[in-house]
Amino acid sequence: MITQEKLTQLVEQTQEIAKEVGAFIRKERQHFSVEKVEHKGFNDLVSYVDKEAERQIVDRLSLILPEAGFITEEGTTTTKGEVYNWVIDPLDGTTNFIHNIPVFAVSIALMENEDLILGVVYEVNRHECFYAMKGGGAYCNDTRIKVSTAPDLSASLIATGFPYYNFELIDKYLATMKSLMQKTHGLRRLGSAAVDLCYVASGRTEGFFEYNLNSYDVAAGALIVQEAGGMVTDFEGEDDFVFGRKIVASNGKIHADFLKVLNEFWG
Residue 204's identity, in one-letter code, is R
- 225 burial via Cβ count (<10 Å: 0-12, 13-18, 19+): buried
Sign of torsion over alpha carbons 260, 263, 264, 267: negative
**CATH fold of the domain at 4-144:** Fructose-1,6-Bisphosphatase; Chain A, domain 1 (3.30.540)
- Kindly report the number of other CB atoms within 10 A of residue 155's CB atom: 14
What residue spans define the domains of the chain?
A: 4-144, 153-266
Pairwise CA distance, residues 153 & 253, whole Å: 9
* pLDDT score, position 74: 82
Strand partners, 186: 157
What tens digit of pLDDT does each residue of 183-233 get?
Answer: 999 999 999 999 999 999 999 999 999 999 999 999 999 999 999 999 999
Give 18's contacts (C-beta < 8 A, 6+ positions apart): 57, 106, 108, 120, 121, 122, 129
1 confidence band (pLDDT: 50, 70, 90):
confident
Strand partners, 111: 85, 116
Once rounded to an integer, what is the mean pLDDT over residues 133-139?
98
41 confidence band (pLDDT: 50, 70, 90):
low
User: What does CATH list as the number for 153-266?
Assistant: 3.40.190.80
142 belongs to an annotated ligand binding site? no
Q: What pTM value is reported for the model? A: 0.95
Pairwise CA distance, residues 258 & 79, whole Å: 37
Strand partners, 231: 250
Tell which wins on pLDDT, 49 or 200.
200
Strands ordered across the beta sheet of 207-211: 186-188, 157-160, 207-211, 246-250, 231-233
169 confidence band (pLDDT: 50, 70, 90):
confident
152 belongs to an annotated ligand binding site? no
- Phi–psi pair at 122, nearest 5 degrees: -110, 110
Once rounded to an integer, what is the mean pLDDT over residues 149-171?
90
**Angle of helix 170-183 versus helix 255-266 axis, rounded to 10:** 140
Write the DSSP symbol of residue 234. -
Pairwise CA distance, residues 140 & 169, whole Å: 35
73 belongs to an annotated ligand binding site? yes
